[in-house]
Each structure stands twice: as structure tokens, then as C-alpha cells.
Structure 1
């Protein structure tokens, strides 16, 4: 239809509508017909305009996919968590340990994604791992090393990010075996002394040839001061590298403990998606070190949760090089053992809490303490029920002092509790006591407290002496955004 014809038709429709008798059925029908005609004329005008513009835009639409194939869109790094520490700590060197990191392009481009740590001969290595029934090939490999006879020569720890080598069948096992042989060849460590860990996407074959091609470079660049480079190389959705250290006098000698970890999502007890590597120059027998690590892990890495999901790849290794001038600790009854174990637990707790502070999308760091439980074990189960509750976590994100959700979480977990003795506190604010809202509680006080970046929730069960503390974060839209985009 020509432009002038459309204008004439529109004018005619308006004229008919104006001439139609008002207040009659005939008039109403004529006005309706006129309006339909006017709408049809407008639609025709828009269609003509769109057709005229199409030739100019079509080539752009056709060219876009080709451009995307030629140069994949680079994702911007996520903003650093608002709960992050000001800076990565200045990790003191640990005698007998050297690090290197390299860019192998396992999945990420333009960043280091593989790290190698070399341990001096005679080092003792202890490990704890995920209890998932779908453990990754590297985890199964390390479990076998832990349960085998100690290695006398040098040992190596090889870690990659971007691919977890989990749920990869025989391919995954062969990748681990090939890398162990390649590390042994490049470093001189025995194959039985090569520890491995992988983190990243599940179910995709590990391009182990890319990692093997970087081993000579890694071995040539080992340095005792490269701990931060190693910490950055193992990151996935982390927004900051995580490190912690402590120097302590032990039996009159100076001993160093230093380490780093990664973790941000799929974090829950039973280790979750996290990797941790801690090193000390103390001389400690392997069995004693293993017991210390297992005990400390239960109160640190197994007491944090971001999203209640347990990973296939969780690994924490502690290596004692024995380079400090001290007599070895060969028994848990050695007075020095208690001092060292306490310091090790402090370092592990610091690392574990940094993982929560880097929880995907997190804006609040939350400590949940349960007291008055039947046992410490029961208290921990209740605390985790509160910390893992999506309703509790979203209320925290919304800064809503919804203490009823805490009551709900206590009731659903199946652990003993006296409903009529339950008490709840938000920080120092008594919210509920004796199984009922406290007469002194004011909703405005609770709402004001929830605006803090760090929160303490305490729940008294009223039946025993058991107590436990776990750490969690809030659940925000940011968590959904990060995980919806993880594989793209």
C-alpha cells in the first residue's frame, strides 16, 4: 500500500467515526470498524518501515556469529568479595618447600592455572579428602599414596584448575598415571611421591598433555617465595587468593606453618570444593601429623558451608619437611605436639573462614553457634542445619531478622532439642528465650543488627552441654548468576 493511500484510509476512518450517530448500536459498530481500520493502517506503516531498515541490519546479524567464533567473548573477572581481607598475607618461606606456577590453558586463558610444589627428601605428608562416593581420579590416587609406605626421596604436589578430572572413567585414571610419570621424569621425585589435585568442571576429560608440556618450565622456576603465585594458579570462581601463616616457638626452636587454599562454591562439610596445602618445617612423624590434620579438619574445613554441596575433589595436604633444628615429634603425647596442633588448627581455621568470605555472591559472614545440645556432635548437626537453610540464608541476605526460620531449621534436623527451652540471640540481642520471643526484643533492634557485614547467631537447645560453631554466608542473586554462567 502506498504511503499516500494509507494516509487517506486513516483519514477516512476518522471521518466515519466522527460522523457515526452517538449513543446508538449502529454508531458504536461504525466507530469500532473505524478504529480497526486505523490500527491496520498503523501496522502497515510499521511493517514498511521495518522492511526498509532490514537490509542495513541483516549483514550485521549474519556477521556476528562469525566474529564470535573468531574471537570468543572474554569474561570479565568477578568483583572481589566485599568480605575479602585487605591483601594476601606475606607468607614466610618454609625451609624445604619451593613453588612454581605456569599457564597451561587447561580451561582458562591468560592466567596461570597449574602449580607445582617440591618437597625436600624425607618430608612427611598427611592428607584428608572428600567422602563423596564420586571421588575424582586425583583423590583416589592421593588416598592410595597416603595409605602406602612413606617416601624417603623428594616429593611433588601438582595442582591444576579449570578441570576436576572427576567422573572421567578410565580416561581420568590414565591422565593421573601419565602426569605422575611426567612429574617424576621432570623433577626426579619417585612416581609414588607425586601428589595431585584438580579442581574445576566435572565430567570433561583432563587435557593432561597441556600440563605435562609445562613441567620442565615449572621445575626450572621453583622458588621458596612463590607461594602467592601458586595460590592464584589454583583458583576457579574465587575472587581472591587465600593464604595464612603462623610462626611459633616449639621446644625452644622457631617453627613456621604457612599455606594457601582455594574455594568459593560447592562448599559444605565433608570438605566441599576446596583445595588446601599447608607446609611446615617442623619434624613430625607422618602418623602423628595425619592424626593432627584429621582432628583439626573436623573443627575447621568441615565446619564451613556456602551452599551445602559436597565436591568430588576436596583435598587438604599438610607437608612437614623436618628442616627445623628439632627432635622429631613421634607421639601425640609429646608436649610439643599439642602446641603444634593448636597452631595448625589456627592456620586451617583462618583458611576455612576465608573460603566462606569468598562464598559465591556472599555479602555477609555468619558465625552460627549452638549450645546446650546433647553432645558436641549433635550441636554441630544443628548448627549446620541452620547454616545450610536457604530460608535462613536468604533472610540474612535481605537483612531480615526472621528468627522463626532459625526455629524451623532446629526442628527439621532431627537432633534432640527442648522446644520450651530454646533461646536465640543475634549478636548480643536476646531474640527468644524459654521457647518464646523475649519480652525485651524489639524488631527494630534485630533489623539494625542484620545490616552488619559480620553476624553471630546463637541458639541454645536447653538439654545438655554440647556446643559447636560453624561458619556460613548469605545466599544472594550473585550466587545464581555465578553458577548459571560457570561453564560458559
Structure 2
């Protein structure tokens, strides 16, 4: 496997575009389109929030069916959530506009929105945006970059990646982009994510791979503990790599596909966590030596979502008691007198706690380690063979500033 350029357009047959539709933002692009020149199979995972945005309901019906997909239309600025019948009608109108312009079926267009909850979409601007997007589709690195920028809200950087690997002697490519910065919490995290690949695979295995993967990637990140109404992760596979179709979950080809999918989603997950609103550092929590995989996940997420721990990371303070506290209220059983806690980063590694007590570490050395852009807490429970990793960020003054006046 190698990382390549091209983002969402890296795989054969995929195009993208972006446009300024003035949905909410007046000085930047705010709509994007992804298009496959041949019908693609799709799979999706969506928010666990009981309150689901109109595009989530629209997309889930399509990705859960045997319907092929050609296009995804995304807007930023307004979420089209809590908009009831009018919001669903606007989904239908948007899909029809895309279908007419692209010459595809109405049900082959997926939709995604992100932004302020409770506002109705300016459907005239949406439709004008779709027309512009349809007329400017390109298969290029530039188009992919622009699409990734257009779906941002409070993100400080665009997020994209592409890889190339081999299946059945054929080169296969996978590209992806996502957005997410605030209202991020596991199961799923708050984000919009899109993956395109030219692999030839059955719909059943595409869905299985995606759902199995998010458990250890997007479901393991948190910024602020809020689960959105709009979370969507969608993958399209158009088969143009012309590899022998993957239909056996026990095959080496399927394992290769899953490995590369995991690489892509892990990279995107870390991008989102590291770009948390106001964040100055990516905070990674690794739990090792747990009795079960689920226990390791629960413990890691408990630490990464702890506001007090996140504040300590912002202050470069090795306040290990907060981590022990978060582990202790996770609901999982472990022996605090038979575990170890380390902090590490590019600046070094230091043992903080062992067998029930602090080891008397050097505070200045710990502060130096915690001053890096990416810091890690490693918890070794010494109880079993399972591990899990969660990602988050520090909690800063700027998080309050950003969210206090988000609507304005």
C-alpha cells in the first residue's frame, strides 16, 4: 500500500466539484459534489442520535437498499435537521435537480448537510449550486481539494487522503474526505465522511467492512461529548479496478481491502480529533492488556472524553489522577494496584504510575513530553491480551469562544 495524491478523485471514474452557493457562508465555497461515471454500490453508517437530519433519513433508505448510486451532493452551513416535512421535500427536490442535470436516477443521488440545526435550506440556492456543481465536475487533485474545503464548517483544515494497493493482481485505489471539528462524540462521531474506491466487491461485504471498521476508528474519537443529528459515513465502490469480485469474507483479498479501509479511516479519525474546535494537541489514549476488546474500548473512551483530563493536556500538566479517575468510573473492572501509566510523544516517553502509586517522575520532563502537537497516554492493565485506541484533543479557551456564538 502507498499513499497517493488525488483525494476523493483518486479512484477510477470518480469526479468532484465545489461551488459558492451562499447557503450560510458569504466568502467561501459551501457546496460539493462527488460523482461516479458508472453506477456504484454503496454502504453507509449514520448517527445514533434519535433526532436524525433529513438527509440521513434520505440516504439510509438508499444505502440500505440495492439501489446503485452515482452522486453525492453536500452542503455546509445549514444542517437540514429538525426541519420535518419541508426538509424531506427539499431532499427530494435536490435529488431531482441532480438527477436532471447528471442524467441519472433520482434515487441514485445521496445528500449530506452540515451546519446550524433548525434552519430550512434556501432551496433556490441549493438547486443553483447543484447546477453549478454538475457543470464543473473534474477528476483531478484540484477538484478533490476544493470539494474537501467546501464541506468544512468550523474545521481549520480540510481533511483528505488517498491510497493505492493491489488485489488479484490489479491496482486498486481508495480516496476519502471528511469534515468534523465540533459536536464530536463516539457512536458515531459527529462528522461527514465520504470514501470512494474502484474495487470490485459485493455490497454485502462492503457494508460489513464499513460497519466492522467504524467500531475501532470513527467510534473511538471524541472532541466534546455531543453526538450530532447529521453523522454520515458513506462509501461508494464502482468496480472499475476490474479485480476479481470479492465475495468471500475469509479471502485474502477481503482482508487486504479491510486493512486499507482501516488505514484510511484511522487517518481521517485522527485528523478530526486533532482539529477539534480550539484544539492545540491531538490526544491519543491507548489501553493495553485488557480482558476483552470491549473493555479496552470503554476504558480508552472514558479517558479521552474526560473534560478534566483534556484540560490537563491543554496545560501540559501530567495530572495522572484524572486519568485514573476516568478509568475508575468507566464501568469496567480492573486492578489499579497492578497497572502502569505512561505519557509519550515525539519528545520522549515517561512512566508516571505503577502498581498503585506515582513513581516520582520528573515533572519538567513530563511537561516537555506533553507539550508536543500529538501526545499519548498509554495504560497497561496487565490483565489480558486485548487493546484499543481512542482519539481526542485538549480542551481550550477557544472551544468556548467558538461555540458561544456559532449561529452568528
Question: TM-score per shorter chain, which class?
Answer: over 0.9
Distance 1:255 1:100 in 2: 23
Relative to 1, partners in 2 of residues 1:216 and 1:443: Cα closer, same or farther, differing over 3 Å? closer
State the partner residue of 2:300. Answer: 383
2:132 is equivalent to residue 217 of structure 1 = yes
Q: Using the alignment, how far apart are the partners of 1:118 and 1:450 within structure 2?
A: 43
- Contact 1:255 1:324 (8 Å CA) reproduced: yes
User: Hey, what does 1:83 align to over in structure 2?
Assistant: none
Residue range with higher mean Cα deviation, 97-106 or 448-457: 448-457
The aligned residue for residue 183 of structure 1 is 98
Change (3 A) 1:333 1:466: closer
Q: TM-score, normalised by structure 2?
A: 0.94
Q: Does 1:449 align with 2:354?
A: no
The answer to whether the Cα contact below 8 Å between 2:200 and 2:241 also exists between their aligned partners in 1 is yes
Match of 1:474 in 2: 394
- 2:381 is matched with which residue? 461
Gap change, CA 1:126 and 1:238, over 3 Å in 2: same
Structure 2 distance, partners of 1:216, 1:372, is 54
Q: Separation in 1 of the partners of 2:202 and 2:276?
A: 35
Q: Match of 1:426?
A: 343
Q: How far does residue 181 in structure 1 lie from its aligned partner after superposition?
A: 1.7
Counterpart mapping for 1:282-301 below 5 A: 282-301=199-218
TM-score (norm 1): 0.79
Report SS of the residue matched to 1:158. strand
Structure 2 SS opposite 1:417: coil
Match of 2:194 in 1: 277
Partner in structure 1 of residue 107 of structure 2 = 192
Higher relative contact order (CA 8 A, sep 6+): 2
Gaps of 5+ in 1: 1-87
Match for residue 89 of structure 2 among 162, 174, 187? 174
Greater fraction strand = 2
How far residue 93 of structure 1 moved from its aligned partner, in angstroms, is 2.9
**1:129-167 CA-partner distances (Å, limit 9, x unpaired):** 11111111100111111222232xx62101000001111
Distance in 2 between residues matched to 1:362 and 1:216, nearest whole Å: 37
Offset at 1:320?
0.8
Shift of 1:460: 2.3
Give CA-to-partner distance per residue, 1:225-248, whole Å, 9 cap, x none.
Answer: 111111111000011111111111
Q: Is the 8 A contact 1:424 1:431 kept in 2?
A: yes
Distance 1:242 1:485 in 2: 24
Structure 1 residue 437 corresponds to structure 2 residue 358: yes
1:306: how far off?
1.1
Q: Distance in 2 between matches of 1:338 and 1:435?
A: 41
Consecutive unaligned residues in structure 2, runs of 5 or more: none
| Pick aligned residue for 2:66 from 142, 149, 152 | 149
Deviation at 1:89, TM superposition (A): 5.3
Contact 1:258 1:280 in 2 (8 A): yes
After superposition, where does 1:78-477 map in structure 2 within 5 Å?
A: 90-91=6-7, 93-151=10-68, 155-225=70-140, 226-427=143-344, 428-438=349-359, 441-477=361-397
RMSD over aligned CA atoms reads 1.5
Query: Structure 1: how far apart are the matches of 2:155 and 2:367?
Result: 30
How many residue pairs are counted as aligned between the two chains? 398
1:85 corresponds to: none
Query: Does the aligned pair in 2 maintain the 1:261–1:277 contact within 8 Å?
Result: yes
Q: CA deviation at 1:90?
A: 4.6
Q: 1:456, CA displacement in angstroms?
A: 1.3
